[in-house]
Amino acid sequence: MSETIKQAIQSGETALGIEFGSTRIKAVLVDGSHQPIAMGTYDWENRLENNIWTYSLEDIWGGLQGCYADLAGNVKEKYGVQLTKLGALGFSGMMHGYMPFDGTGRLLVPFRTWRNTMTEEACKELVKVFRFNIPQRWSIAHLYQAILNGEEHVKQISFLTTLAGYIHWQLSGEKVLGIGEASGMFPIDSEKKDYDARMLEQFDRLVADKGFSWKLRDILPKALCAGEQGGTLTREGAKLLDPSGALQPGAAMCPPEGDAGTGMVATNSVAVRTGNISAGTSIFSMVVTEAPLQKVHEEIDMVTTPDGSPVAMVHCNNCTSDLNAWVGLFEQFAETFGMTVDKNELYGRLYREALKADPDCGGLMAFNYFSGEPIMGMEEGRPMFFRMPDASFSLANFMRSHLYSAMAALKIGNDILLKEEHVKVDSLMGHGGLFKTPVVGQQLMAAAMNAPVTVMDTAGEGGPWGIAVLACYMQERKEGESLADYLKNRIFAGQTGTTMEPKPEDVEGFDAFIAKYKASLPAEKAAVAGLR
């Protein structure tokens, strides 16, 4: 088998996917059967500069080259050959943000990431104009906020893109973006598979008195659907990716996507009435809807799949950070008794304890807000735990309250989607750290969503594998073969998973917890105001 893989590497019968996550850049190389054959990683971290969360250009290129070098080293170590040729290539990155460039290709202000919650004023005005929800992390929100702030750089903008779009542009020369990521720059018309023409005109009219030399469409990347080619790796691009000079140019490049879109691909969740839940440091759900929503909901973002179908997204900034902190405290407790506890076993034992708890957590309440939570109207957060004097204060209820807290904001957003908009969901795929302990996160998430939740027995390599699969789809797609059919028949055929149906008592208990959670929100707001 290794000889066959070696041959595929040498002949360039491979596809490479690289994803820029918030804390790690990860590369996955796949063979003709779409299986990962080599990986590379590079750890990085955003920094707060002048009150803006950012990564420098040096961070970006050092990270990309470091990740690729790690991948090439992995190939050399496993197969004894140098990586010189790629069949296809794709990039994805953390959602949206703001990277404006002038006509010479110079970045006008430091990259403003998804983590910044600085565009509330712009969002409120744009929602009124568009009658469409505009989240704070979207590129158009950052652009309009910069206009409202009177920032000088705006009049110099020649091109506006995201991190994934920037990398792709530098390596291919093409100013394009996958439609899923493009839908987080500006609203998309899913029927026309392009930016919404009415809203483009509305925005241009809104800023007409500013006298800018550009129209919005002219500075946005061209939106491409999955299956279309987004260019090829140029000679200069190959050198940027691999400064050693070993990598040859010419690899076909698929449209760059965001991590939400690649997560949908990696979990086989691009068909209508399917969805996925990604639960780690942050948490979000993506549900592919049969039609646009009836009303504008600030808790729900309307984006698209990588092939342009409408998706209702509920995105929350906080998920497992507070849980992890409490597990760390229990680990310290064990160490005071001279015990060395395996971290995975500790997580497993504590999570499983939650299954013994009262369905409503017995009078315990927790807020997991390490940072602001826009879906709940919180600009800042303070992790907080409290209880009724007569509460059933047990380890089981304690753990369940924190697991509920990790899912609470997501549940509130999805209650609007499922109960008010009556969106139908046939299946949800769970992935991320919250689901690593079998059964627990899955069972409680099924209760939160009141829908079946499936976790695959053999999870893929996540987002970087997802963008590699999109690169394969670009090359292998048959006439008329949809992305959903390609995934179902050629990528996930024969794969199995575990599905958990919601238990009525858990659904009822979670609903009771959420009622008290909403009633307790003023206490969290008071903590933000008073604890500084």
pLDDT for 207-248, tens place per residue? 999 999 999 999 999 999 999 999 999 999 999 999 999 999
Confidence band for 286, pLDDT divided at 50, 70 and 90 = very high
* Domains 2-255 and 268-460+500-532 alike in fold: yes
Q: pTM of this prediction?
A: 0.87
| Nearest Cα residue to 220 out of 158, 264, 153, 266 | 158
In a 3-state reduction of DSSP, which class is residue 54?
Answer: strand
**Residue whose token pair is 């497992």:** 320
Buried b or exposed e, range 299-319, using 16+ CB within 10 angstroms: bbbbbbbbbbbbbbbbbbbbb
From residue 341, how far is each of 299, 345, 352, 474, 525 by CA, in Å? Answer: 40, 7, 16, 47, 36
Task: Say what the pLDDT of residue 100 is.
Answer: 98
- Say how far apart CA 56 and CA 284 lie, in whole Å: 26
Average pLDDT over residues 519-523: 97
| Nearest Cα residue to 140 out of 194, 212, 198, 203 | 203
Provide the mean pLDDT of the chain.
95
Domain boundaries, the chain: 2-255, 268-460+500-532
470 φ/ψ angles, rounded to the nearest 5 degrees: -65, -35
The string of pLDDT tens digits covering residues 455-493 is: 987 555 688 999 999 999 999 999 999 999 999 999 998
Q: Rg of the chain over CA atoms, in angstroms?
A: 23
Cα(first)–Cα(last) distance of the chain, in Å?
Answer: 59
Architecture of domain 2-255: 2-Layer Sandwich (3.30)
- Answer whether CATH 3.30.450.70 is correct for domain 268-460+500-532: no
- Say how far apart CA 356 and CA 190 lie, in whole Å: 45
- Say how far apart CA 111 and CA 72 lie, in whole Å: 28
The string of pLDDT tens digits covering residues 322-376 is: 999 999 999 999 999 999 999 999 999 999 999 999 999 999 999 999 988 988 9
- Say how far apart CA 370 and CA 381 lie, in whole Å: 5
The string of pLDDT tens digits covering residues 301-336 is: 999 999 999 999 998 989 999 999 999 999 999 999
Give, for 72, the enclosing helix (H) or strand (E): helix 57-79
Say which DSSP state 256 is in: P
